[in-house]
């Protein structure tokens, strides 16, 4: 009896762990984070946006670096169509000094980021969204007055070589949203770097 109670408790616990963060169909919360240009950015600043390509990414992670140009391309392709990229660095700079705010400024300049590159200084936003790795994409779509999560996952299916990617998940997801359809697939996985959580 005691054992089964413990098991029940543990399974609730693990269910809660899995349930953390957004699933496709959930409403996404706004946030207010510091951009590399010194200003705070929030999603509600973008009155005309039809949605957002929110990407948790960072400076140090080779998988993030491999996607930097593709993230710039996504913004170039879709910002003027109403789906700008909002990049967020969720990492703690004590654990990973390469991901400090000052180094974000340097990296954004080096790579001519055409999108906001925000610091999740309190690490609350990545937890709310449920991001576990960098890069990790959440595609939000404005539906009535809410921002609804419509795709979670990878940018495409080849981290190593953009030219060899046969599935451009984010691009095709936005194209489907624009056509009034739901993305398919709406959830993918990818290898990435763990998010560097502040040590208490």
Partner 1 sequence: MKPFTFVPVKLKFVIILLMIFTVNGLHAQVRVYGFDKLKPLLNQQNNTTYVINFWATWCAPCVKELPDFEKINAQFSTQKFRMILVSLDFKRSLETRLIPFVREKNLKAEVIMLHEPDANSWIDKVDPKWTGAIPATLIYNKDFRDFLEGSYTYDELYNIIINNLKQ
Interface residue list for partner 1 (CB under 8 A): 18, 61-62, 66, 96, 132-133, 153-154, 157-161, 164, 166-167, 188-195
| 49/87 with CB nearer partner 1 | 87
Q: What is the CA radius of gyration of the chain?
A: 17
**Roughly how many angstroms between the first and final C-alpha of the chain, as a whole number?**
36
The Cα–Cα gap between 86 and 166 comes to 24
Cα-to-chain-centroid distance, residue 22: 11
| 72/98 with CB nearer partner 1 | 98
| 105/190 with CB nearer partner 1 | 190
CB of 63 to partner 1, least distance (A): 9
CB of 76 to partner 1, least distance (A): 23
Q: Give the strand pairing for 85-89 and 117-119.
A: parallel
| 123/157 with CB nearer partner 1 | 157
CB of 102 to partner 1, least distance (A): 20
C-alpha distances out from residue 147 to 4, 79, 160, 183, Å: 41, 16, 31, 15
CB of 185 to partner 1, least distance (A): 8
């Amino acid at each position: 009896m005691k054992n089964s109670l413990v098991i029940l408790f543990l399974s609730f616990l693990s269910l809660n762990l899995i349930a953390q963060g957004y699933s496709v169909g959930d409403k996404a919360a706004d946030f207010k984070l510091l951009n590399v240009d010194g200003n705070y950015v929030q999603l509600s600043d973008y009155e005309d946006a039809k949605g957002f390509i929110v990407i948790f990414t960072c400076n140090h992670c080779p998988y993030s670096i491999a996607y930097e140009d593709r993230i710039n391309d996504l913004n170039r392709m879709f910002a003027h169509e109403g789906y700008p990229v909002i990049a967020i660095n969720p990492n703690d700079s004590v654990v990973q000094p390469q991901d400090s705010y000052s180094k974000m400024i340097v990296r954004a300049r080096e790579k001519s980021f055409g999108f906001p590159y925000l610091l999740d200084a309190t690490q609350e936003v990545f937890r709310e969204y449920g991001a576990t790795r960098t890069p990790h994409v959440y595609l939000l779509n404005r539906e009535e007055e809410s921002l609804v999560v419509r795709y979670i996952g990878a940018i495409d299916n080849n981290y190593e070589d953009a030219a060899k990617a046969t599935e451009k998940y984010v691009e095709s997801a936005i194209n489907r949203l624009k056509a009034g359809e739901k993305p398919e697939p709406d959830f993918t996985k990818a290898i990435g770097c763990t998010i560097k959580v502040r040590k208490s």
